Amino acid sequence: MLSSDTPFGSGVMQRRDGKYFTGFEPLLGIHCAANDLNLNKDEIVTVEQAVNC
């Protein structure tokens, strides 16, 4: 569970200030896995499941 090819993190997603996220962004990964930013809607998990993984 939670091996992902969902594009998030460095150079792909923009922050609210318009800058791109850089480097390893574990909280962004959890956020993407637990809501509709996940490209595979059938694979959305709860925040608890994402944190545990």
Tens of pLDDT, residues 1-47:
566 555 555 566 777 898 887 767 788 778 878 887 766 778 888 99
Tell which residue, 8, 12, 11, 15, has the closest CA to residue 35.
Answer: 8
pTM: 0.58
Provide the domain limits for residue 10: 1-53
Nearest to 23 by CA among 4, 9, 5: 9
Q: Say if residue 51's pLDDT is above 80.
A: yes
d(CA 36, CA 29): 12
| 37 touches 28 (CB < 8 A) | no
Phi, psi dihedral angles at 40 (to 5 degrees): -105, 90
C-beta of residue 2 within 8 angstroms of C-beta of residue 40: no
**How many domains does the chain contain in total?**
1
